[in-house]
Amino acid sequence: MMHGRRRELVRESTLDEAEQNKQRVSKYRTLSAQVMTMKSQNTFSPDALSATRNLLELNTELHTVWNYRREIFLNLDSWQDMSLRQQHLEEELGFLLEIIMRNIKSYWMWNHRVWALSMLPVPSWERELALVAKLLAVDARNFHGWDYRRFVVAKIRETKGDDVDLAEFAFTTEQINRDCANHSAWHNRSKLLPTLLQRCSSPEERKELLGTEVDLILNAIYTDPDDQNAWLYHEWLLDVQTSTEDRCGLLRDKVAAIREFLELEADSRRPMVELVDAFIGLDDLAPGCVTEDERRECVDTLRRLRSIDPYHVGRYNDTETILGKRWPTATVNE
């Protein structure tokens, strides 16, 4: 007996499985040879379309077969009839949806879906947007889905204008609030924000929008201070500012938030590293704006980091040496 089962039954199950695998491999080889023969003979027929579908159901990563499948469509006698082309491609989208559900990370499948939608006489981009939203609900960080979503949004923008950007911006907010470690959502947001900032009609509106971004970043930092996404987004947000005043304002907000956080989590390494970087960044932007007390706070933070994070002690020592030359009165040496 083995785990309550007879040893003979285990052996029979293994043999059956091996036989099934052998049959699947044989089927795959036969089908692959058939498709390659059709391709070499430039066979563009419904039978070739069916054969490529059967093969791709077994292996979605055959980019040569995806390319051949597109050639078949383009050479079908019915392709020039727009109603029949619509029917063919609607069926193709249904087939691709089945593939997506089995292998959402297939590059070639997503490329083929973009092609199919581009060839469709009457595409429904809103339907595609709803579809990719459902897919991201299952796998929220899937970058294939996010990349495809940007493609769909761009198509909707061509017909409905820039209003779609506001809806997409709200979608990224929802995704980040659900999971602040969703790098793809942060990245998508960075693609949208510059356009929204350009459309601000006044400095007050721009300031309000930036304040919303800071609140989102701070909420993510408080949720998971060790996750890099919010910190990286803050660095990007600094880079897209057009004035030193705005950059300094963002860094001051960052300093205030980190100080508040460290009152609760005094030995949280990443916020302490970011605090040091924020003080140095302020001094780079506006020399002399960092007070003597803040310089000492920066040095004290470095010393605390050295004690709780010995793995990076060399980095902290180098930073302290540099600050000693920049701020000699801050007494950087112990």
- pLDDT digit string, tens, across residues 269-304: 999 999 999 999 999 999 989 999 999 999 999 999
Residue 174, token pair as written in the block: 């929802």
Q: Is 200 helix (H, G, I), strand (E, B) or coil?
A: coil
User: Sign of the C-alpha dihedral, residues 61, 63, 68, 72?
Assistant: positive
Q: What is the per-residue pLDDT for 14?
A: 66
Reported as a pLDDT band with limits 50, 70 and 90, residue 242 is confident
Q: What is the per-residue pLDDT for 105?
A: 83
Q: What is the per-residue pLDDT for 331?
A: 60
Neighbours of 259 (CB within 10 A): 12
- pLDDT digit string, tens, across residues 99-112: 888 888 888 999 99
Strand-pairing partners, residue 5, are: 2
Q: For the ranges 98-107, 168-177, 228-237, which has the lowest average pLDDT?
A: 98-107
Q: Is 5 helix (H, G, I), strand (E, B) or coil?
A: strand
pTM attached to this predicted model: 0.81
CA atoms within 13 A on the CB side of 272: 21
The phi and psi torsions of 309 (rounded to 5 degrees) equal: -135, 70
Select from 70, 119, 133 the least CA-distant residue to 90: 119
Strand-pairing partners, residue 2, are: 5
Q: What is the per-residue pLDDT for 139?
A: 85
- pLDDT digit string, tens, across residues 183-233: 999 999 999 999 999 898 898 998 899 889 999 999 999 999 999 999 999
Q: What is the per-residue pLDDT for 135?
A: 86
Q: What is the per-residue pLDDT for 9?
A: 45
Q: What is the per-residue pLDDT for 333?
A: 52
pLDDT > 70 in the chain, percent = 94
Rg of the chain in Å (alpha carbons): 29
Q: What is the per-residue pLDDT for 329?
A: 79
What dihedral angle (degrees, nearest 10) is formed by the CA atoms of 307, 309, 314, 319? Answer: -80
Q: What is the per-residue pLDDT for 161?
A: 79
Reported as a pLDDT band with limits 50, 70 and 90, residue 147 is very high
CB 295 within 8 A of CB 257: no
Mean pLDDT of 3-27: 64
Residue 234 has pLDDT above 50, yes or no: yes
Reported as a pLDDT band with limits 50, 70 and 90, residue 163 is confident
Q: What is the per-residue pLDDT for 251?
A: 94
